[in-house]
């Protein structure tokens, strides 16, 4: 029994992913974590870390960049971006974070330096380069957990995702995360279409 071609199935899945990205959006409040992750690239292009082992640090060379913000015990918002700089960070934060936020937690990335001065929003950060991952209520563990789900989904389920279609897959992972407690998950997905 056939259902048509692979390209037809892929096209239909992508239309569903577009619809999932158009679900009603509410700005994040409370404790919000913001971070970026890099997707793609080839292992042979990774630079050597300290001691000549592994790939260390961040590196966007040949990789797609996703910035995300997650409300602790709440929803996530993620977007594919072109650059990791202060301008795109501030634009993203103004779009997705409410002025009623209790605290924005980030890592030490330069894009977030003086965040409080530029936005007026409370900001705390952890310094991963000094192996500091938690400082009181300041951490990025929740958003790092979301990145883990995205990366495992891409590598384990989809195997490869082109940069052209990455925003659609990000829509899907965002929808899945935001509806993780929804008993009518499938119904919510159908209603989004």
Does residue 159 lie within any of the structural domains?
yes
Q: What secondary structure letter does DSSP report for 24? A: -
Query: Residue 106 is inside which H or E element, if any?
Result: strand 97-106
Does residue 166 lie within any of the structural domains?
yes
Q: Taken in order 30, 72, 192, 38, is the CA torsion positive or negative?
A: positive
What pLDDT does residue 59 have?
A: 57
Q: What secondary structure letter does DSSP report for 23? A: S
What pLDDT does residue 9 have?
A: 77
Does residue 48 lie within any of the structural domains?
no
The C-alpha torsion from 153 through 156 and 157 to 160, rounded to 10°, is: 90
Coil, strand, or helix at residue 99?
strand
Could you tell me the residue range of the domain that residue 165 belongs to? 9-40+60-192
Does residue 171 lie within any of the structural domains?
yes
What pLDDT does residue 21 have?
A: 75
Does residue 114 lie within any of the structural domains?
yes
Is the CB of residue 111 less than 8 Å from the CB of residue 89? yes
Does residue 157 lie within any of the structural domains?
yes
Does residue 53 lie within any of the structural domains?
no
What pLDDT does residue 51 have?
A: 54
Greatest extent of the chain over all pairs of C-alpha atoms, in Å: 62
Is the CB of residue 31 less than 8 Å from the CB of residue 143? no
Is the CB of residue 56 less than 8 Å from the CB of residue 47? yes
Does residue 1 lie within any of the structural domains?
no
Indicate which CATH number applies to the domain containing 182.
Answer: 3.30.420.10
Q: What secondary structure letter does DSSP report for 32? A: E
Digitized pLDDT (tens) for each residue of the chain, 193 residues in all:
466 788 887 777 777 787 777 677 789 999 999 999 998 876 665 665 555 555 545 556 678 999 999 999 999 999 999 999 999 999 999 999 999 999 999 999 999 988 889 999 999 999 999 999 999 999 999 999 999 999 998 887 777 788 888 999 899 899 889 988 888 877 877 777 7
Indicate the number of domains in the chain: 1
């Amino acid at each position: 029994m056939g259902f048509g071609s692979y390209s037809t199935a892929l096209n239909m899945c992508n239309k569903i992913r577009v619809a999932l990205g158009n679900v009603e959006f509410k700005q994040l409040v409370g404790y919000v974590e913001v971070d970026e992750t890099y997707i793609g690239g080839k292992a042979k292009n990774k630079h050597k870390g300290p001691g000549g082992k592994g790939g260390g640090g961040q590196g966007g060379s040949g990789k797609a960049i996703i910035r995300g913000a997650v409300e602790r015990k709440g929803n996530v918002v993620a977007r594919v971006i072109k650059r990791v700089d202060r301008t795109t960070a501030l634009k993203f934060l103004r779009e997705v974070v409410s002025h009623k936020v209790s605290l924005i937690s980030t890592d030490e990335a330069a894009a977030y330096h003086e965040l409080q001065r530029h936005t007026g929003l409370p900001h705390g950060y952890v310094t991963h380069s000094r192996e500091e991952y938690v400082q009181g209520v300041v951490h990025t563990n929740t958003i790092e957990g979301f990145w883990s789900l995205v990366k495992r989904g891409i590598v384990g389920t989809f195997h490869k995702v082109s940069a052209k279609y990455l925003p659609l897959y990000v829509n899907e992972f965002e929808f899945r995360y935001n509806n993780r407690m929804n008993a009518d998950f499938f119904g919510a997905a159908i209603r989004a279409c």
